[in-house]
Amino acid sequence: MTLIFMAEFTMPTDDDSIINDAKPFNPVDAARSMQGFAARAHEYVSTGLPLPPDLTENGIRELRRAQAWLEATLPTLGIPGHRAIITSDEEAKTIVGHAFIYVLRYAARELRWIDSLLRKQPSIPR
C-alpha cells in the first residue's frame, strides 16, 4: 500500500538538513513521536480547535525525515524507494486535522514495518 499525501502546505525544505539532521534517524523513535503528534492532533480535532502551528510544523518535519530515511532504506530491501508520505510543497498552515492524524499514523506503521524487516535481515545495516 502506498500513501500519497498531497495537500497545500508551505514549509521551507532543505533536503540535506532533513537527511543530515543532528541526531541520527531511528525509525522506532520516529514512529513513537508520530503517534504522539497524532494523539495530540486528535485532541484538538475532537474538540473543534485548530491545530497549533508548532504541532503541524514538527509533525511535518518528522514526516520529511521519515520520507528521506525510507527512500534511502527501502532499496536495500528490494522495495522501490519512492513511497511518498509527504510532498515537498506541503504547508503546515492549511493541513486538515484528520488527514494529518491519518498520515502520521500511517507513517508510524510504515516505519515499524520496515524496521521489523531490517531486524529480520541482520546483514543489512540499519
- What's the pLDDT score for residue 83? 63
Contact 97, 44 (CB under 8 A): yes
pLDDT of residue 11: 34
Q: What is the pTM of this model?
A: 0.73
* Burial grade of 35 (CB within 10 A; 0-12, 13-18, 19 or more): middle
pLDDT of residue 12: 34
Question: Residue 115's pLDDT is what?
Answer: 92
Show Cβ contacts of residue 86 under 8 Å, excluding neighbours closer than 6 positions: 5, 60, 63, 64, 67, 103
pLDDT of residue 22: 56
Give the C-alpha distances (Å, rounded to integers) separating 97 from 28, 39, 64, 90, 121: 24, 11, 18, 14, 37
pLDDT of residue 30: 96
Q: In a structure prediction context, what are the per-residue pLDDT tens digits for the chain, which is 126 residues long? A: 333 333 332 333 444 444 445 578 999 999 999 999 999 999 999 999 999 999 999 999 999 999 999 988 888 888 876 666 666 555 555 567 888 999 999 999 999 999 999 988 866 555
- Cell reading at 74: 527501502
What count of residues does the chain have? Answer: 126
Place of cell 543532528: 22
Sorted by where each begins, the domain ranges of the chain are: 27-120
What are the cell numbers at 20? Answer: 543530515
CB atoms within 10 A of CB 7: 15
